[in-house]
Amino acid sequence: MKILMTLLNGTALTLFLSMVGSVYAQDIVVSEKDFTCIRDGHHIRNTFIRHSDPEKLKEAMRIFKDRVPDKEYPVGTFMQLVPFEVMVKHPREKFPDTNGWEFFALELSEQGAKIKSRGSKTVNFEGNACMSCHEPAAKFDFVCEKKHGCGSLPLDDKKIAEIQATDPRCPKK
């Protein structure tokens, strides 16, 4: 009986570790080199979207463009409204409070981006926790837009475009 219990415990542990490994195997590693010119993303309305996998990019763009409720963005999706802030999708287990979203505050220069802060508790350019603004958009996987859930920013479309045009990482036109 003792041998059987040891085997079962070993099997259960192996299965558990395998399951945990597979959850995080889908995860991505994000570093400063991943934050390039905002215009490297696909532009839909005011937002730029990127993904290294063309099929997952297509899916993320469809979810955003069609404002699909109750649908999660693919792991590896980068979403950006302004050059100095980005949200990146991980498996929800990695950041359970944000359904997998990791928020980034960046310091920008022509040489690239430096990460000032990152995680689920990052603070935005207004000094508020990113999630405090994104929380009302839970039905849209915490992705904000004017027409679903999130309070309005103190910026109109023209001002957002002006801010996007200031990204020092982008080639001069």
Q: Would you state the pLDDT for residue 19? A: 45
Q: Would you state the pLDDT for residue 5? A: 44
Q: Distances from the Cα of 169 to the Cαs of 32, 34, 126, 172, in angstroms?
A: 12, 12, 22, 9
Per-residue pLDDT of the chain (173 residues; tens, 9 = 90+): 555 344 445 544 444 444 444 445 588 999 999 999 999 999 999 999 999 999 999 999 999 999 999 999 999 999 999 999 999 999 999 999 999 999 999 999 999 999 999 998 888 877 888 888 888 899 999 999 877 767 777 788 999 999 999 999 999 87
Q: Would you state the pLDDT for residue 16? A: 42
**What 3 state SS string does 46-68 have?**
CEEEECCCHHHHHHHHHHHHCCC
Contact 107, 59 (CB under 8 A): no
Domains of the chain: which residue ranges? 32-164
Positive or negative, the Cα torsion across 41, 43, 48, 50? negative
Q: Would you state the pLDDT for residue 146? A: 79
**What tokens does 113 get?**
């981006």
Q: Would you state the pLDDT for residue 108? A: 97
Q: Would you state the pLDDT for residue 26? A: 84
**Of 102, 123, 112, 144, which is closest to residue 40 (Cα–Cα)?**
112
**What tokens does 116 get?**
């000032």
Q: Would you state the pLDDT for residue 127? A: 81
